[in-house]
Amino acid sequence: MTATTLTSTTRTAADAARVPLMLSELRLPTIKRLWADLAEQSNREGWPAQRFLGALLEHEMAERETRRLARARADSQLPPGKSLSEFDFAAVSTVSKAHVMALAEADSWIAQGHNLLAFGPPGAGKTHLMAGIGHALIERGHKVLFSRTSELVQRLQAARRDLRLPAELAKLDRFDLLVLDDFSYAKRDQAETSVLFELICERYERKSIAITANAPFSEWDQVFPDKAMTVAAVDRLVHHATILEMNVESYRRRAALPARRQRSAPAAQ
């Protein structure tokens, strides 16, 4: 072995020893896991250096995206399985599939902090539709948080009691879209109403809110006992908003009907 090859072999070994440390320091776990095998393949098959580097970076980016998606889905608390591909648009004649798909695929309304409101009776598919839009937005890189309105109100009230309401509202700011499910479900007292109102004001024209509600606006004085507050809240929510009217019969009930008919039908002779 000549002196030159000896130096080069020693250098290669020294580099190989340093690479994992440097990859840890740079937080590139996928490249750290794959580089040795890929380097061997690359040497064996005589890849140009560009191809080797490109392959490593591609793997790192793909896994980073997978991890990001998994984290965003877990953080969102969206009901799993309620995607737009599972939603039967034919069952809701008042909602256009093209319109919903455009909302799910467009970033501008989210960037501008516009809102989305879905109204309809129980079982109409409001939660499913909003969750489907939420899942689609996560795929596009947005951050979404789904919560029953009453649970979020409890959380905000607890924060107010501990004098950390501004901090709690700021935490919600990292979500581009907040889905408040069953907004009009329960009558609230003054304290509950005021945290909800503060949340709406805080996000107004900055960050989007999506709401599902059984009761239309006319009945919202049940939601906000103070009339002036109802008007102010509705005003902010609808100022830049898309409204989806889902006045259809319960999907659950309709889905149950054929089965019930089948069960009660006389057996074929």
Which positions lie near ligand ADP, rule CB under 6 A?
82, 86-88, 91-92, 120, 122-128, 212, 251-252
Strands 144-148 and 177-181: parallel
30's contact among Mg ion, ligand ADP, none, with CB below 5 to 8 A by partner kind, is none
Structure tokens at 168: 């709690």
For ligand ADP, the closer CB: 28 or 131:
131
Residue 30 binds Mg ion, judged by CB under 5 A = no
Structure tokens at 244: 């989806």
Residue 127 binds Mg ion, judged by CB under 5 A = yes
Structure tokens at 70: 């998994």
Query: Looking at 50-58, 119-127, 227-235, 244-252, which segment touches Mg ion (CB under 5 A)?
Result: 119-127
N-term to C-term CA, the chain: 92
Residues in binding contact with Mg ion, number by CB under 5 A: 1
Residue 149 binds Mg ion, judged by CB under 5 A = no
Return the closest-CA partner of residue 214 out of 251, 181, 242. 181
Kindly state the smallest distance separating residue 133's Cβ from ligand ADP, in Å. Answer: 12
Query: Looking at 71-79, 126-134, 137-145, 229-237, which segment touches Mg ion (CB under 5 A)?
Result: 126-134
Task: Give the span between the Cα atoms of 74 and 109, in whole angstroms.
Answer: 24
Return the closest-CA partner of residue 184 out of 123, 132, 118, 245. 118
Is the dihedral angle over the CA atoms 115, 179, 132, 67 positive or is it negative?
positive
Name the residue whose CB lies closest to ligand ADP.
125
Q: Check: CB of residue 123 under 8 Å from CB of residue 250.
A: yes
Query: Looking at 4-12, 122-130, 231-239, 253-261, which segment touches Mg ion (CB under 5 A)?
Result: 122-130
Residue 147 binds Mg ion, judged by CB under 5 A = no
- Residues near Mg ion (CB under 5 A) are 127
